[in-house]
Amino acid sequence: MRHKPDITRDAAVSLVLLRDTSLERRVLKILEMVETGTAFTIGDLAAEFRLSPAYLQRLFKSETGICMGEWLSEQRLQRAAYLLSNSFLSIKEITHAIGYEHTSSFVRAFERRFLQAPARYRKQNEGNGAGDAKRIQAA
């Protein structure tokens, strides 16, 4: 039996933990694609690999031990947290940059994950990342 990484919810954010050379090549490619910061849906990724969404999700879960939908959501919310701390993008711009259609949906998901509204998170974490000189202007 192959060893699967033990990944908690917070550790799932770290792609470093998932970079196991024993992972199937398609799963490794998915990790690389999502790491670019581009917003992908399960449907997008399934089409890219010519797989059904259901099969892709089973493959991802069997290879990593975590649910693909939850992992993608966590990646989006972590990217949002980074953008809130390190950019001047509006919350609406961040919403669309990370792949949410509606700001209200993003705000609810962000509040569930970080236990505070995006605006409050931004205020508390301004400049905690790359510094003011390196603040990004766009996603």
Q: CATH number of the domain at 76-134, please?
A: 1.10.10.60
Cβ neighbors of 24 (< 8 A, separation 6 or more) are 59, 63
The stretches of 1-139 forming alpha helices (DSSP H) are 15-18, 25-35, 42-48, 53-64, 68-86, 91-97, 103-114, 118-125
pLDDT, residue 23, reads 72
pLDDT, residue 133, reads 35
Asked if 118 and 110 count as a contact pair (C-beta separation under 8 A), the reply is yes
64: phi then psi, degrees, rounded to nearest 5 = -110, -25
Q: What are the extents of the domains in the chain?
A: 11-71, 76-134
Mean pLDDT of successive 10-residue stretches along the chain, which has 139 residues = 43 48 80 84 92 94 91 93 94 94 96 96 78 41
